[in-house]
């Protein structure tokens, strides 16, 4: 009995430690005071001001635009790259996998400076395009690593059986392989989306004049004090992501039940 109580208390303390900062942020998004240390009454003022703040809204628009674009493109590239790597012979596969691990293990600052140097050498104008290309570059390896386990779990004879029954390689890929690895593709896309929204270092080094995302905007605000509208925006983003995760989990559970 005591062991069960201690285990539950231990789990509760871990989750409290993880989510306490988010809970505080949500609570203070309704605080009437600009101070983040004192409570001065309930208000929706910061939510109203959020939709009137052009700087924050523009940064949010850039963030979502780049996150959606980079996650879609990196998921497409990563899916076909993972399938290619999976069917490669032993030694070549090990080399390519190790090359794929390098961007993941590399510090962000090294990747950021490397990409910045490359763009300068190619004389590409810094702006939204360079930021998008940078996000795609560092998201692709994570997508590949999310999909490869699903390819290993898949019965390797399924595509062969489909082609023996008259399916073309592309039809077998579309109707057999992709549905089998779809959970990995969705995981990779969500990871790419989250990484893109969260990134600061790579975005900071590879953006242009007048182009910023939320992380850069918040960093610039930190010097003179963060506007409480950021708390409101973070609360809305957190709530939206929670709803999306609940929907995805529900659909996944439904798919598993349908497959028995």
Domain boundaries, the chain: 54-259
| Minimum mean pLDDT range among 67-81, 138-152, 233-247 | 233-247
Report the C-alpha dihedral over residues 230, 232, 233, 238, rounded to 10 degrees.
Answer: 120
Packing angle between helix 128-153 and helix 178-198, nearest 10 degrees?
140
| Minimum mean pLDDT range among 134-148, 168-182, 212-226 | 212-226
Per-residue confidence band for 254, with pLDDT thresholds at 50, 70 and 90: low
Whether pLDDT at 133 is above 70: yes
Res 259: pLDDT? 61
Per-residue confidence band for 260, with pLDDT thresholds at 50, 70 and 90: low
Reading the block at residue 215, the tokens are 């992380």
| The residue count for the chain | 260
190: closest CA among 179, 200, 198, 178? 198
Helix (H, G, I), strand (E, B) or coil at 92: helix
Other Cβ atoms less than 10 A from the Cβ of 65: the count is: 14
Res 114: pLDDT? 93
Res 256: pLDDT? 62
Angle among Cα 63, 214, 246 to the nearest 5 degrees reads: 65
Percent of the chain having pLDDT more than 70? 96
pLDDT digits (tens, 9 = 90+) for 4-45: 888 888 999 998 888 888 888 888 888 888 776 777 888 888
Q: How far apart are CA 145 and CA 127, in angstroms?
A: 29
Residue ranges in the chain assigned as alpha helix (H)? 2-28, 45-50, 54-86, 90-105, 108-121, 128-153, 157-164, 169-172, 178-198, 201-205, 214-222, 229-259
What are the residues facing 31 on neighbouring strands?
Answer: 42
Q: How far apart are CA 50 and CA 3, in angstroms?
A: 48
Sign of the Cα torsion 32, 33, 37, 38 reads negative
CATH superfamily placement of domain 54-259: MetI-like (1.10.3720.10)
Res 176: pLDDT? 86
Residues with Cβ within 8 Å of 240's Cβ and at least 6 positions away in sequence, in order, are: none
Whether pLDDT at 47 is above 80: yes
- Mean pLDDT within 167-194: 88
């Amino acid at each position: 009995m005591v062991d069960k109580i201690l285990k539950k208390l231990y789990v509760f303390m871990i989750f409290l430690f993880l989510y306490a900062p988010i809970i505080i942020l949500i609570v203070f998004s309704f605080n009437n005071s600009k101070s983040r240390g004192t409570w001065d009454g309930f208000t929706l003022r910061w939510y109203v001001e959020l939709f009137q703040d052009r700087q924050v809204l523009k940064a949010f628009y850039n963030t979502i635009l780049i996150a959606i674009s980079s996650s879609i493109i990196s998921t497409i590239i990563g899916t076909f790259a993972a399938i290619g790597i999976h069917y490669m012979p032993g030694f070549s596969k090990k080399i390519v996998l190790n090359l794929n691990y390098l961007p993941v293990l590399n510090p962000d600052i090294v990747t950021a400076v490397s990409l910045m140097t490359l763009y300068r050498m190619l004389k590409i104008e810094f702006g939204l395009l360079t930021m998008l290309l940078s996000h795609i570059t560092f998201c692709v390896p994570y997508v590949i690593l999310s999909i490869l386990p699903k390819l290993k779990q898949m019965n390797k004879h399924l595509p062969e059986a489909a082609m023996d029954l008259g399916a073309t390689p592309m039809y077998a890929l579309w109707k057999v392989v992709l549905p089998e690895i779809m959970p990995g593709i969705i995981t990779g896309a969500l990871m790419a989306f989250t990484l893109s929204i969260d990134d600061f270092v790579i975005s900071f080094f590879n953006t242009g004049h007048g182009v910023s995302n939320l992380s850069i905007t918040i960093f610039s605000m930190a010097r003179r004090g963060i506007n409480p509208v950021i708390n409101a925006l973070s609360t809305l983003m957190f709530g939206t992501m929670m709803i999306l995760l609940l929907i995805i989990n529900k659909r996944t559970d439904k798919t598993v039940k349908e497959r028995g």
